A = this chain, B = another copy of it.
Amino acid sequence: MKNAIYAQSGGVTSVINASAYGVIKAALNAEEIDNIYVAINGINGVFNEELADMGKEDPEQIELLKFTPSSAFGSCRRKLKEESEFEEIFRIFDRYNIKYFFYNGGNDSMDTANKIHQYAQKIGYDIKVMGVPKTVDNDLPETDHTPGFGSIAKYLSVAILEGTLDVKSMAADSTKVFILETMGRHAGWVAASTALAKRHESDGPHIILLPEVPFNKEKFFEKVEKTIEKYGYCSIAASEGIKYADGTFVAARGYKDNFGNVQLGGIGSTLANLIRSELGIKTHYAVPDYLQRSGRHISSQVDVNEAIEVGAMAVKYALEGKSGYMVGIERLMNSPYMSTTKLIPLDNVANETKLVPPEFITEDGMFVNEKFIEYALPLIEGEYYPPYLNGIPLYARLKLNRI
């Protein structure tokens, strides 16, 4: 018997189940693989021997995985540290005849996959370990981009477009500033992607605050006021992770209330209160939080297709005998956009963070330039709507009976 395990780990995306779909379909079709199991809640599902046999799921529900956001199999935040953990994993792998292991996640998850690969080599256990990339943060090195990024970029571009039309409507005698708080604690790719909504100079966003650029309150206020002077309103995308030059988070330092007490909040409420209290301008802010990374109803077609592909290719590479790699994406051309996959050693990926490079950022540090647009625009192309029933998306409902 040669069985495979697939599992999902870390923060979710709207297309991680599309990668699951790619892995599961390819594994079900592979003669070399007898059973494809999914571990429930990431690597914890291995420890707890919570495994579900994908061969026993309703094929229609498997098809719906393409359209279903978040982790259909549960995720985890566990990092492996102890030798005893690896011993335990391989005892269980051996018990279930696991010869293939596919781990779908971001930086931390690639580190886990890498350690499992290295431990297998050390003890001489015959297994192919492949990393399947997933992160809205787009911060994995060596791959052109990560599955999940195109869809959060599309979600947030549409959000800033619609939110800006709203503040534009209200600006004449009410709210004049709209702030969209985006994910991105270290890398600003997600906040930067809102620039894709801008077709004309007056369109939002007018300001993008990236964690890569130290926050300068005076310059920020100046740009807010100039934008309002010019267009009547100002639309801002702010990464949750922006910091002052001294390294403290802007949201952590907060703002003072009427009694002089420091208030803590997210970056959206912090900036809104700064603008209200120091500039006296009525401000609204939105915090999409989970909605931005699970918003499958507005995912990018390019992103969904690539997510499926990296999953399916992980199986193909493993069947060819490869192990210890992540399936990366290589861009072939921009117009028409085309990409292919490539192998990236897990060693090169684990725990590395790719930031937005200076050559993508405008001189004032508060926007991105044409080079970024050229890079990111193809990734939000195409709509790949889920099916609907009674006005609501029809997402997969798996049985996940434990073996």
Contact = CB atoms under 8 A, between A and B. Distances in A.
Total copies of this chain within the assembly: 2
A190 to B, nearest CB: 15
A286 B158 CA distance: 17
Given A197-B392, A266-B269, A290 B70 contact: no
Interface in A274-307: 284-291, 293-298, 300
B75 A169 contact: yes
Given A69-B162, A298-B298, A290 B392 contact: no
A334 B40 CA distance: 41
15 contacts: A12-B170, A69-B162, A71-B169, A71-B170, A74-B169, A76-B174, A77-B174, A158-B393, A163-B289, A166-B290, A178-B290, A200-B397, A285-B289, A286-B287, A297-B298
Residue among A78, A197, A383, A385 with the most chain B CB within 10 A?
Answer: A383
A154 B197 contact: no
Given A78-B173, A159-B291, 12 more contacts: A14-B162, A41-B172, A69-B162, A76-B172, A76-B173, A162-B297, A163-B294, A261-B261, A265-B269, A285-B289, A287-B289, A380-B392
B395 A377 contact: no
A214 B288 CA distance: 27
Nearest to A12: B169
